Amino acid sequence: MRSSDFYDLVSGRRRGLGAAALRGLLSLAEGPYRVGVWWRNRRYDAKPELTQRVGVPVVSVGNLTLGGSGKTPMVKWVSRQLRAEGVRVGLVSRGYGSTDGGPNDEALELEQSLPDVPHVQNRDRVAAAQLAIEELASQVIVMDDGFQHRRLGRNLDIVLLDATEPFGFGHVFPRGALREPVSSLKRADVICLTRSDLVSASDREAIRARAVKMAPDALWCESVTRPTGLIGVGDAVETEPVERLRGARVAAFCGIGNPLAFRKLLVNLGAEVAAFTEFADHHAYTRSDIERIEHETSASNAEWIVCTHKDLVKVGVATIGDLPLRALAIDAEVTVGAEELKQLLARVASEAPADEW
């Protein structure tokens, strides 16, 4: 099931008896999932010894819901702030969607964006952190998608809420998009509302009020996604300004957790989205997929083919049909609470072990 189909179902946007019956079945499955999450969290709360420290500070960047909430841009922002403090940073992640033991799409994107920050992928995040410390001399670890991974101890827990659907339609998976109940925000040190410019000021305040009620001591931040350019495959391809998309007829595709946010970003840049092909998150592209994109592009009379950076590193081609393939490169910009968050990260960096290299 595509991400948008799942969201249409659990949000209630999909109507009819069949959809209602399916939501009823998902509600039955929600109970056992919720109990499992509660039991796991209770174990970690009751037994602190289950959490392992690795000898260097750890910053976790995670979220409360399924799908994309802007983690990769925020991981880049956090890593760059720590590097600016003069410490060596190592990234660790589970590596979901990787094939043949190689780096997944997010790792490939981060490798290009952060060439001075090594990335270790392993389902065992403790082992990944230890390798980053012992083999790569990392002084601070940034754990990508780490809020639910409680075995690796952390010094700072940053939780992202996507402004377009911060609370998972009010239900835990599979009835909704919550990975765990909203009350879990009490573990957060920082709560950051991503894509905050896509909702009204009153909506932002309502989200903040609910989140702060759960975590009154957490730092509240807001961020936006800023497109920084259009990039292609190969060192010889120059980055082009995103203004090239204004008024242009675009065929777009993506395999990410929140495809609608990508489409909305293109529209906000002034592009006319003539064709939009959605694949599952972490999709492994095949020749038939490329042929499908080429066919839909041709049928739409598009002038551009655009995807996300995460998709570009997997597709790995410079052109599709007669048109060059470009990815929209994006970065996070913290618009509320930036200085306070930088101070917290500086404090983390100050706790790093002395440089022995």
Instruction: For residue 286, say whether it is annotated as part of any ligand binding site.
Output: no
The answer to whether the 51-225+333-350 and 227-331 domains have the same CATH topology is yes
Average pLDDT over residues 271-280: 92
Average pLDDT over residues 51-65: 96
Residue 21 backbone phi and psi in degrees, to 5: -65, -40
Architecture of domain 51-225+333-350: 3-Layer(aba) Sandwich (3.40)
Instruction: For residue 65, say whether it is annotated as part of any ligand binding site.
Output: yes
Which segment of 35-39, 118-122, 219-223, 236-240 scores lowest on mean pLDDT?
Answer: 236-240
Kindly tell me if the per-residue pLDDT of 7 is higher than 90.
Answer: no
Average pLDDT over residues 201-219: 96
**For residue 6, what pLDDT is reported?**
83
**For residue 102, what pLDDT is reported?**
62
Average pLDDT over residues 78-86: 96
**For residue 261, what pLDDT is reported?**
84
Cα distance between residue 243 and residue 230, in whole Å: 9
**For residue 101, what pLDDT is reported?**
58
**For residue 48, what pLDDT is reported?**
92
Position 317, amino acid? V
Output the pTM of the full model. 0.88
Instruction: For residue 196, say whether it is annotated as part of any ligand binding site.
Output: no
pLDDT band at 250 (very low <50, low <70, confident <90, very high): very high
pLDDT band at 259 (very low <50, low <70, confident <90, very high): confident
* Mean of per-residue pLDDT scores for the chain: 91
Please report, for the chain, the start and end positions of each structural domain, with discontinuous segments joined by +.
3-46, 51-225+333-350, 227-331
Instruction: For residue 194, say whether it is annotated as part of any ligand binding site.
Output: no
Instruction: For residue 97, say whether it is annotated as part of any ligand binding site.
Output: no
At 1, is the secondary structure helix, strand, or coil?
Answer: coil
Instruction: For residue 113, say whether it is annotated as part of any ligand binding site.
Output: no
Beta partners for residue 333, in sequence order: 224
Kindly tell me if the per-residue pLDDT of 208 is higher than 90.
Answer: yes
Kindly tell me if the per-residue pLDDT of 88 is higher than 80.
Answer: yes
CATH number of 227-331: 3.40.50
Percent of the chain whose pLDDT exceeds 70: 95
Beta-strand runs (E) in the chain: 58-63, 89-93, 119-121, 140-144, 156-162, 190-194, 219-231, 249-254, 272-278, 304-308, 319-320, 323-336
pLDDT band at 11 (very low <50, low <70, confident <90, very high): confident
**For residue 327, what pLDDT is reported?**
94
Average pLDDT over residues 63-74: 87
**For residue 99, what pLDDT is reported?**
57
Instruction: For residue 178, say whether it is annotated as part of any ligand binding site.
Output: no
Average pLDDT over residues 296-305: 92
Kindly tell me if the per-residue pLDDT of 137 is higher than 70.
Answer: yes
Instruction: For residue 66, say whether it is annotated as part of any ligand binding site.
Output: yes
Residue 252 backbone phi and psi in degrees, to 5: -125, 155
**For residue 237, what pLDDT is reported?**
65
Which segment of 135-144, 156-165, 317-326 scores lowest on mean pLDDT?
Answer: 317-326
Residue pLDDT, tens place only, 90-116: 999 987 655 555 666 777 788 888 889
Is cis: bond before 174, omega within 30 of 0?
yes
